[in-house]
Amino acid sequence: MNHKEIRLKFEQASAFFATNQTRSYDFRRSCLEALERGIRSHEKGLYLALKKDLNKSEHEAFITEISLVYGELSYIKKRFRRWMRPKTVLPSIAQMPSSVRVHPEPYGVCLIMSPWNYPALLTLSPLIGAIAAGNVCLLKPSAYSPHTSSAIATIVRESLPEGVVFVVEGGRAENETLLDLPFDYTFFTGSPTVGRLVMEKASRHLTPVTLELGGRSPVIVDESADIEKTAKRLTFGKLTNAGQTCIAPNHVFVHRSVADQLVEELVQNFSRTFDSEEHYRKDYPRIVNRKHFDRLMQLIEGQEIAVGGQGDSERLQIEPTVLLNSSKDSPVMAEEIFGPILPVIPYDSLEDVIAEIKTEPKPLALYFFTKDKERAQRVIDEISYGGGCINDCLLHIASPYAPFGGVGNSGMGRYHGVDSFR
């Protein structure tokens, strides 16, 4: 889509918003219901697209993307009428005997830029909140997941009234054109590097932003943890989407007294993924492109490998890999891994681990495995991070009742449930 076509879509969306149709509850609800019908009627097409883009199995695609979209739709449809109502607040003495009400209103024309790793979930979930809040949108899915982008464009085109949502497909040129337009709100999911550029561009129009970024999400495993369960949950957290998850465990600090046991359990769990050649080739997600594949393979070079470490450059698949004794100066410990590689680092003092994590940019997620409630509370109180779990991984993202977002380098703003509406 060229510059003129994108600007025309923006102008059409602006004109539609100016009609005030999106301000009514009935219109918003009809759009949400139409969107849900469209997703359900094209659900198989979304599975096929995710298979083509990332080699996701239908099971993984449903659990990690489509089911969460349905959950968000269900939650918001039941509640957003109440959220739309004006709220009465107490007047000050100077205002008495008047009444004071706060009226929620839509921002207007919103830009939603989504990434390639969960291209259905991370496009449709913020869209649901934007529609419920009465906005119109331009969606810009990632060029790295073209089949899913096309499937979403079809759903939007066939389901929603023209002017409510437009999908802009393409790459960097389309991104640059969109970021130069005076949107009323920008919602971006991606890397901190691009997030800074998005914020800089938005600031020229004083456009408010939500930035859902990433970071090196650490794991702490203390000596009281159930190591067998910990290993299983780390395996789930790290190998979902082949580690290409913004809240995936990036590296593990484990108390030295249980380090060998944890590594042994991780090796057993990771090995099961590629022990079955049919499962590995058929259903194990691939790395999104050759550039990221090569980057990940370079991170493994020169490291002590407990399991895995091999890659298939034709299929862009990398074996689930556990690394031992990676130093703080090694490349694998210097960046967000975003792949199926898990460094395991023994520690002696929880105080030292907390201090080390606090020297790093604030992560999007943190996971602590322990049976000690006081230690768990200490970690929660002393370390700043976007969200996380005690004795589990990833699952904090799944609740529409709780806000999701980062802090500092891992992002700003929140969404899910009522926070998407706001």
Residue 353 and residue 41: Cα distance in Å, rounded?
A: 49
Q: Annotated catalytic residue: which of 31, 110, 137, 246?
A: 246
Classify residue 396 by burial, with Cβ atoms within 10 Å: 0-12, 13-18, 19+: middle
Catalytic annotation present for 246: yes
Q: Annotated catalytic residue: which of 174, 212, 265, 336?
A: 212
CA distances in angstroms from 84 to 3, 101, 128, 174, 237, listed in the order given: 35, 12, 15, 34, 36
CA distances in angstroms from 10 to 154, 172, 177, 227, listed in the order given: 19, 18, 11, 53
Phi, psi at 186, each rounded to 5°:
-125, 130
Q: Is the dihedral of CA 55, 171, 194, 7 positive or negative?
A: negative
Q: CB neighbours (10 Å) of residue 278?
A: 7
Which residues contact residue 189 at a Cβ distance below 8 angstroms, ignoring those fewer than 6 apart? Answer: 113, 114, 115, 122, 126, 212, 213, 246
Cβ atoms 33, 162 nearer than 8 A = no
CA triplet 131, 186, 408: central angle to 5 degrees?
120
Cβ atoms 109, 14 nearer than 8 A = yes
Catalytic annotation present for 212: yes
Residue 156 and residue 38: Cα distance in Å, rounded?
A: 8
Phi, psi at 390, each rounded to 5°:
-100, 120
Residue 382 and residue 203: Cα distance in Å, rounded?
A: 32
Residue from 185, 110, 132 nearest 23 by CA: 132
Q: CB neighbours (10 Å) of residue 300?
A: 20
Q: Is the dihedral of CA 173, 139, 159, 11 positive or negative?
A: negative
Residue 49 and residue 350: Cα distance in Å, rounded?
A: 44
Cβ atoms 243, 338 nearer than 8 A = yes
Residue 409 and residue 383: Cα distance in Å, rounded?
A: 14
Tokens of 188: 């971006």
User: Residues with catalytic annotation?
Assistant: 212, 246
